[in-house]
Amino acid sequence: MILGISEDFTSTVNFDSELSSIPSSGLHLNSGVHPSITVGNLLEFLPKINFTFSQWKNSTDYGVFTETRNKKDIVFYQNKIYQSIKSGTNNLPTDSVYWLETNIESLRVKSFLNKVKDRVYSELSLEKMLVNNQFLYENGDIETTLDGDYSGWVIEPKGSDYVSFRVNQISFQKSSTTPVNLYILNQNQLINTITITPDNGRLNFQDVDLKLSGKGDFKLLIDSTSVFTSNATVDPQQFDGFLAYTTTGTGASVETADYTYNVYGNGIGLNITAFLDPKVYIDNNLSEFGSFIRSTFEYMTFQMFLHNSNNRSNTSERIQIDRDMLVRELKDMNVDSVVRRFYNGKKKALKMLEKTFDTQLNKNNGITLNVGSI
């Protein structure tokens, strides 16, 4: 969620380009709000402390600061402050692909905006939500040689990229105890390789804690071999939150092989959790939720004005509203107050979520067991 602050000429501070550029959402938080919310007033009430940052090191693996919110991803280099915008090592802070030149004032505002984002997610109950925890397996007793060079599962989100998965356990029914490689692909790009160990043909689930998140389909593949299967088939549509197929591939590598989707078993069983990450949904539809995001910013700024939570400026000097008026803006729902705009914005945002969120997800609840099918 990229939020912008527009220039209002109440301060001589120059914000970094992430704040001052026209945001992709077109959303400037300090436009169309109460006139007391100015850049000057905001900076006077935000905490003002002595920040210290480490010198840039070419051996450090830096993460993206907007994702990690970790101070280690901000560095000091040649008397300037830089914020990491792309993960990696040995990339000079002067490389604009990996770093953004910033300053203390910009970081103070961004810290507050992070709290605004978190408040939006919290008010809309947009935390990670469980769709379902499901087992995909068959208890096979027929030894079969799998077709092709590779075999496995294809997992694909239903209609959106805000469904993520966690593979908790994997079973592998093969007459052996020798570990085999499990290749994990996203959009046919190899992203991870782990090992799974068969238990002499027994159905025995092993803990793996494998997280899958991103756009497109995911493939979990092994080199084709002999396994134990049954006559079960899989219904790709029956699972909550995602489609699931078995697959076989023929080719020189897992990434370049040609894959065919199937509905029969392959000896591999999954214990998989599907969950929603609604923050991605909000980011994708930021302009539609802009009114509530702005009213949340306005509401939290007035809370800071009233409570002076960072023990900064004298309200009677900085804000030309007495305490009673500040309280009224935050309590009175009978006038066009800050609190009324906040709750009206929340009400509209919740209605939008009710109409649009998860329309592509299976609404069946619970677990369905079918004899003879995966």
pLDDT tens-digit map of 31-72: 889 999 999 999 999 988 777 899 999 999 999 998 899 999
pLDDT at 363: 44
Share above pLDDT 90 across residues of the chain, in percent, rounded to a whole number: 55
More confident residue, 232 or 132: 232
Residue-wise pLDDT for 145-193, tens only, equals 999 999 999 998 875 556 788 899 999 999 999 999 999 999 999 999 9
Check if the beta carbon of residue 77 is closer than 8 Å to that of residue 93.
yes
Query: Which residues, at least 6 apart from 191, have a Cβ–Cβ distance to it below 8 Å?
Result: 184, 185
Check if the beta carbon of residue 215 is closer than 8 Å to that of residue 222.
no
The fold for domain 129-276 equals Jelly Rolls (2.60.120)
pLDDT at 313: 64
Write out the two tokens for 101.
Answer: 């030149």
Residue 276: is its pLDDT beyond 50?
Answer: yes
Neighbouring-strand partners of residue 196:
180
- Domain residue limits, the chain: 17-125+280-356, 129-276
Q: Which residue has the tokens 């080199």?
A: 223
The amino acid at residue 45 is: F
pLDDT at 157: 82
- Write down the pTM of the prediction: 0.65
Please choose, from the candidates 125, 126, 119, 108, the residue with its C-alpha nearest in 3D space to the C-alpha of residue 300. 119
